[in-house]
Amino acid sequence: MALSVLKISFLTFFASLFVCSVLAHDFSIVGYSPEHLTSVDKLVELFESWISGHGKAYNSLEEKLHRFEVFKENLKHIDQRNKEVTSYWLGLNEFADLSHEEFKSKFLGLYPEFPRKKSSEDFSYRDVVGLPKSIDWRKKGAVTPVKNQGSCGSCWAFSTVAAVEGINQIVAGNLTSLSEQQLIDCDTSFNNGCNGGLMDYAFEFIVNNGGLHKEEDYPYLMEEGTCDEKRVNADESQTMHPLVEYNE
């Protein structure tokens, strides 16, 4: 099917940008202004800036044109939501060239069933008074920067590590980014790496292991790796005493 005149003009414009070098930007979420929505040229400029910032590459000009159209529709949705709500702000992250259905098919949809252990002990709060209605633990310094699990189904590991990082800071005053990859590689008795798992078993692994490595020492790969026994058994492993105290 022949391309329309408008699409041909887009392709011509993109072709010129394809061979031009664009300055890289250090950001994870690209901002925008209402001015970007006033013309095609400004939208293309923003799209190219977003491509540069996230290191995107497309196999053809046709694919790039398609991704631009998706990007444009996502930007319209973002702009509309930002006009309607004030409690949060939306920006252009690395998924801005994916449709809603594409994002769901690529990053959602894992529903494995794992047997849960039944605890014989009932949960109870300690003696506390004057509790606030809510707490923003980010402001308390108990939350590490946002992490990206990629297409690996390792949400169980990220949930576990985030909880341990937080309780470690709350109890010991030490906010340290810990290793999800160690759980994915080494906690394999019941959990299943990128194919899912449960926090319950991961907490048990950390306690039995005496701690968890720092993320910088055992970095995330976005895929399953081989358990590094030398690192797992190293003395410098991050000790989780706060987690043990919390369970007592």
Whether 117 shows a pLDDT value over 60: the answer reads yes
pLDDT value, residue 1:
46
**pLDDT digit string (tens) for 138-192?**
999 999 999 988 888 899 999 999 999 999 999 989 899 999 999 999 999 999 8
* 53, 25 Cβ separation under 8 angstroms: yes
Cβ neighbour number for residue 139 with a 10 Å cutoff? 8
Question: What structural domains and CATH numbers belong to the chain?
Answer: 5-107 (1.10.287.2250), 155-247 (3.90.70.10)
Whether 209 shows a pLDDT value over 70: the answer reads: yes
Q: Full-prediction pTM beyond 0.85?
A: no
Contact by Cβ (8 Å): 191, 153: no
